[in-house]
Chains A and B, each alone.
Chain A
Amino acid sequence: MRTKMIGVILAAVLATLALGSVFTGIASAAPQWKFNGTALSGKEDVLGAAISSSMTIPGMTTTCEHFLYNMGIENASGTGKGEIKELPLFECHTSGACVVEAIEARALPWPTHLMTVAEKQYLFVEGVEVGILYEGPLCPIAETEMVVKGTAGGLISNATETATFNSSSFSATGAQLKVGGTPIEWNGVFPTEAFEWHREESLSVG
């Protein structure tokens, strides 16, 4: 009976150790920010402007010609993290009857972190909040501010040094943006480029 008890305890200990090593494996695989192949130490600012960016509420797409961002990045506890500090949006228009009277990113900074899903690296953005005021004589939501809230996930490409946000990247990361109860789709391609200490160095994630 005692031998059997010791056997059970031993099996439990081994199982715990095995489980621990699996989790350690996942943790060690957490992606980090790298410049010229070397992990970033300290902090850096990354700036960029979207090559293209649009947000679609079913039936109406809002596109911004100038969608800039300023994101602080660092590697903390072995994982690439950061925060979007600024996100000015200019020259926005819609596919429908509405005119974009005002658009503003709010509740900044938005925390970000890198994550790996199915061997691909993603940038995950939390606390997204954008207020949009539409106008126009035929615009059904004129004079009423729409507030986009939620999370966003973008696929990182080391080859092109970009983060691409679309329905696939949102689905992979479990991110979701909503206006009220309505899910919206965000499409955008953002080049990443260091602005301070690592200017003109190759930025990658791995």
Chain B
Amino acid sequence: MKGKSGARWLVALLCVTALVGFQAASASAHTGEWAKFNYCPTTETGVVKCIYSLTTGGEVVLGSKKVPIVNPVTVQGGLSKPTSGVRSMFAATNGVTLSKTPEPVPGGLLGIVPPESSPWLVKQLSKFFFENGLTGVNATLELAKPVSEVKVNELNLESGSGVAFVLPVKVHLENPFLGKECYVGSSSSPLTWNLTTGKTSPPAGFEPITGSPGLGEFKEEGTLLQINGAKLVENNWSAPQATGCGGILSFLVDPVINSMIGLPTAAGHNKAILETTDDLATIGAVNLH
């Protein structure tokens, strides 16, 4: 009986060891150009391609606040077969489909000083954080909808017309004063970016902005496509009011944030410009490397 039990333990241990080994291998199996696809869900049903998009520049204008993208942001995962040219995205195996990369908000809290008419408590809290040098604010993009709501149209991406990327996002504003749940946008009211490499169609009275499809290059004997210098733009999106700012004092702090950023904002007042390098390959090619 004891021997049988020992054997069971041994089998279980071997299984666990094998599983850990497999997971480690699936997370870092690729090298060189292919390492960027380490977290592509190549074994998931429905995935036919892998995408790795690195945003290294651009800006997000939210109401009266402009946040330059100074820290690289990654979008990675798998892509479905196209339906009418549009592919749905599958989550990256490490869970980081859209990297939560904090971007410093120029001016930090200096730009969102409570007005004189603000409640006494808000002014005192703000003063406390200022006096303790805690005025820096980071803005982090997060997905507001399931990954499957992220859409890619490769033809539009390369042709410079139509919607190339649909990204439903929310902006996380981070600062000790603002607490951990200060967001602009939510799953029910996302900031929906219909990004194009062509010309945007903002509401009447606003100037369109023009993107760029970038330069394509085939690598690895034609099995990997890299698009350098693509510029995805969108200025036809609205933004709701901020929520959850200041923790339990959000009922006091939210209005201050909204007032200072100018939220909610109608479409045309906001802008997203993403300067990207995009890599695409089939799961067949990725699995060979």
A3 at interface, CB cutoff 8 A: no
Given contacts A140-B223, A146-B158, contact A179 B81 (CB under 8 A): no
B151-179: which have CB < 8 Å to A?
154-155, 157-160
A-B interface contact total, Cβ < 8 Å: 92
Which residues of A, 69-118, contact B by the 8 Å Cβ criterion?
94-98
Which residues of B have CB within 8 Å of A180?
157-160, 197, 213-214, 216
* Residue contact A182 to B49, C-beta cutoff 8 Å: no
Given A181-B212, A181-B215, is A140 in contact with B160 using a C-beta cutoff of 8 Å?
no
Interface residues on chain A, size class: 20 to 34
Which one of B93-101, B112-120, B278-286 contacts A? B278-286
Residues of A within 8 A of B128 (CB): none
Instruction: Specify the chain A residue showing the minimal Cβ separation from B281.
Output: A140
Query: Per a CB cutoff under 8 Å, which of A60, A143, A183 touches B222?
Result: A60
Collect the chain B residues with CB atoms within 8 Å of residue A183's CB: 215
**B interface majority secondary structure:** mixed
Interface positions of B from 27 to 82, Cβ below 8 Å from A: 48-49, 81-82
B216 touches A138 (CB 8 A): no
Complex interface: chain B residues within 8 A of A140 (CB): 49, 218, 222-225, 280-282, 285
B217 at the interface (CB under 8 A from A): yes
Interfacial chain B residues near A141, Cβ < 8 Å: 154, 225, 280
Q: Chain B, 121-153, contact with A by CB distance < 8 Å: what is the 0/1 string?
A: 000000000000000000000000000000000
B288 near A138: Cβ-Cβ < 8 Å: yes
A183 to B229 Cα, complex, angstroms: 14
Asked if residues B216 and A96 are in contact (CB atoms below 8 Å), the reply is no
What is the interface of chain A mostly: helix, strand, loop, or mixed?
loop
A57 beta carbon closer than 8 Å to chain B: yes
In the bound assembly, the distance between CA atoms of A163 and B73 in angstroms comes to 48
Contact across chains for A58 and B282 when beta carbons are under 8 A apart: no
Interchain CA distance A188-B217 in the complex, whole Å: 22
A27 interface residue per 8 A CB criterion: no
18 contacts across the A-B interface (CB closer than 8 A) = A57-B217, A58-B216, A59-B217, A59-B219, A60-B218, A97-B221, A97-B223, A136-B282, A137-B282, A140-B223, A140-B285, A141-B154, A179-B158, A179-B216, A180-B159, A181-B158, A181-B229, A182-B217
Q: 17 other contacts beyond A58-B217, A94-B222, with CB at 8 A cut-off? A: A57-B218, A58-B218, A60-B222, A96-B221, A96-B222, A97-B222, A137-B282, A138-B222, A138-B223, A139-B222, A147-B155, A179-B216, A180-B213, A180-B214, A181-B160, A181-B215, A181-B229
